[in-house]
Structure 1
Amino acid sequence: MIRLFHVSDVHFGRENRAAVAWFEALVKAERPDAVVMTGDLTMRARSAEFDAGLAWLQRLDVPVTVEVGNHDLPLWNLFRRFLRPYHRYHKIERMIERPLDLPGVAIVPLVTTVRFQFRNWSKGYVSSHQLRKTLKGIAAAPAGSQVFVACHHPLIEAETQATSDTRHGPQAFAALAEAGAVAVLTGHVHDPFDIVHEVSGRPLRMIGAGTLSERTREMPPSFNEIRIADGAFDVKLRTFGPGPDTILPREHVEAL
């Protein structure tokens, strides 16, 4: 069995320190095969926040891949946002958008952040260039692998309190289904979900992780444990608090 810890939106600078320590302790005790971090490692993309996030990720001591979230781009410094938006990423660049190949499982990144758009900058955007890169990554995955795509923004709205409104998201989701991906792992909305969409007869799950920050919404701090075996997988919701861990309910919706 392959076990992935899917975590998102830690927001160093506004992290829940107790929840972050809890997650670190679980990783060290249980040794998952990999950690998939789907964006917003920092709150305001400050150097000190990246330093704290890098130190935390390094202490996990397991394979890690990190996606770029909208909070990981400078907000107030427009010069850096437009001309050097990834300048501070050198601190964790070896983990950024890192494909992972595990026995029978491949993790392929998809970038959904953009430095500028004529609307709320926090919303998602899938460019044709980034989608092509991801589709090439899927095609290059070892034969027989179950492919999980990791990105920050949900490609389709999940009826959570917050929204992603990802431009070209549904089209990208359909292309990923056609390419043979089994799930899209996301963050951004700070609440967990597991939704199955069907595209031309192909089921594709969109799985969202909660947050380990102080910026909770409907759920307490949490992350997803994805357990993969015998060609199938389930998602266990692990919460920081008195509530028990549970299998995340899988919702089926109408075909796209």
Structure 2
Amino acid sequence: MSDVHFGRISHPRIVDALVDEVNGAGLDLVVVSGDLTQRARTREFVAARAMLDRFDAPVLVVPGNHDVRAWWHNPFARLWRSSKRFRQLVSPDVTPSFAEPGLAAFGLNSAHGWTIKGGRIRPEHVAEMETFFSRQPLDAFRVLVLHHHLLVLEGLDSDEVSRGASRAIGAAQRARVDLVLCGHLHTSHVAPVELSPATAAGGGHRVVIASAGTATSSRGRGVDRDVNFYNWITVEPERFVVQERRFDAGAGRFEAARESTFDRDRRPARSGA
């Protein structure tokens, strides 16, 4: 899920509906790809932390651009202590990881410093990601999580790509990442992307990018302006399925909207990646 935006919750029952459905599914991991708050206020972080604490499954969460201090309130804090409240109230780790048999996930921080919309990925975080995936079994399903986008996607009317994205997508290719989970654009969009040999050494590689719509806020955009989405991923030995689940306000629950199935790329990761 992404773009929760406490401070702009769309429906009084939506957070409870989301938590209840997730907890009833027996999931292995809950991923939140940023923008837990609307204005990085303390009370918004407290509400977000309370929601995260209700999930039964482990949670991997990264910050979004709305989770860092607004530059017009305090430019110094935005530059030097931009993620202080996130680290104190949500998680001290802005590049979290998760590994269990069959599944490996890593979170990149793309929201800090002077960045506002497009985001920025630091080289040292990319190196940390490569090291993490190099230590995982070759048959593990590999997931990369960040708030901003790494590529311009066909069908999305946006060119907001994070600075440092080319380095990150090259590393993801070398590490044979299967799935990228992101948000930011408040539009639900799932698509496979073929990474050419020119993107990174070692030949082409297909990665699926699942951009989640806003899970619980009133800030949807475009065709999803008044809609709340989150994604439910099921991983099997030879394939994986991304199901987009949409909130029905009348029924007070999330329901399946669209489903995309992809064969897993079983070629091994590059040695030394």
Identify whether the pair has TM-score above 0.5, normalized to the shorter chain. Answer: yes
Question: What RMSD, in angstroms, separates the aligned Cα atoms of the two structures?
Answer: 2.1
- Distance in 2 (CA, whole Å) between partners of 1:12 and 1:33 is 25
Q: Which residue of 1 aligns with 2:219?
A: 215
| 2:30 pairs with 1:26 | no
The equivalences for 1:117-136 within 5 A come to: 117=115, 121-136=116-131
> Please, which runs of 5 or more residues in structure 2 have no aligned partner?
196-202, 263-273
The answer on whether the counterparts of 1:10 and 1:213 sit within 8 Å (CA) in structure 2 is yes
Q: What per-residue deviation string (whole Å, max 9, x for no partner) do you get for residues 165-220 of structure 1?
A: 22232342132112211111101011111221222321111111111211011221
In structure 1, what residue type is equivalent to 2:205?
A: R
The equivalences for 1:59-70 within 5 A come to: 59-70=54-65
Which structure has more relative contact order (CA 8 Å, sep 6+)? It is 1
Q: Which residue of 1 aligns with 2:6?
A: 12
- Distance in 2 (CA, whole Å) between partners of 1:160 and 1:98 is 28
2:48 counterpart SS class:
helix
Identity level (%): 29
Deviation at 1:95, TM superposition (A): 6.6
Q: Which residue of 1 aligns with 2:169?
A: 173
TM-score (norm 2): 0.82
2:245 counterpart SS class:
strand
In structure 2, what residue type is equivalent to 1:87?
A: K
The answer on whether the counterparts of 1:194 and 1:248 sit within 8 Å (CA) in structure 2 is no
The equivalences for 1:101-250 within 5 A come to: 101-117=99-115, 121-158=116-153, 159-199=155-195, 200-211=203-214, 212-217=216-221, 218-219=223-224, 220-241=227-248, 244-249=255-260
The answer on whether the counterparts of 2:82 and 2:113 sit within 8 Å (CA) in structure 1 is yes
The answer on whether the counterparts of 2:152 and 2:158 sit within 8 Å (CA) in structure 1 is no
In structure 1, what residue type is equivalent to 2:211?
A: G
- Distance in 1 (CA, whole Å) between partners of 2:95 and 2:83 is 13
Match of 1:91 among 76, 89, 92: 89
- Distance in 2 (CA, whole Å) between partners of 1:250 and 1:107 is 20
- Distance in 2 (CA, whole Å) between partners of 1:130 and 1:79 is 23
The answer on whether the counterparts of 1:161 and 1:189 sit within 8 Å (CA) in structure 2 is no
- Distance in 1 (CA, whole Å) between partners of 2:236 and 2:172 is 22
Q: 1:115 to 1:95 in 2, by over 3 A?
A: closer
In our comparison, the structure showing a higher alpha carbon Rg is 2
- Distance in 1 (CA, whole Å) between partners of 2:166 and 2:176 is 16
The answer on whether the counterparts of 1:196 and 1:250 sit within 8 Å (CA) in structure 2 is no
The answer on whether the counterparts of 1:221 and 1:239 sit within 8 Å (CA) in structure 2 is yes
1:30 counterpart SS class:
coil
The answer on whether the counterparts of 1:193 and 1:248 sit within 8 Å (CA) in structure 2 is no
The answer on whether the counterparts of 1:65 and 1:95 sit within 8 Å (CA) in structure 2 is no
The answer on whether the counterparts of 1:43 and 1:72 sit within 8 Å (CA) in structure 2 is yes
> Please, which runs of 5 or more residues in structure 1 have no aligned partner?
1-6, 252-256
| 2:57 pairs with 1:57 | no
TM-score (norm 1): 0.87
The answer on whether the counterparts of 2:243 and 2:260 sit within 8 Å (CA) in structure 1 is no
Q: Report which stretch shifted further, 156-165 or 206-215.
A: 156-165
Deviation at 1:249, TM superposition (A): 4.5
2:13 counterpart SS class:
helix
Deviation at 1:250, TM superposition (A): 7.1
- Distance in 2 (CA, whole Å) between partners of 1:14 and 1:150 is 23
The answer on whether the counterparts of 2:213 and 2:229 sit within 8 Å (CA) in structure 1 is yes
The answer on whether the counterparts of 2:232 and 2:245 sit within 8 Å (CA) in structure 1 is yes
Q: Which residue of 2 aligns with 1:254?
A: none
- Distance in 1 (CA, whole Å) between partners of 2:108 and 2:100 is 18
- Distance in 1 (CA, whole Å) between partners of 2:127 and 2:192 is 23
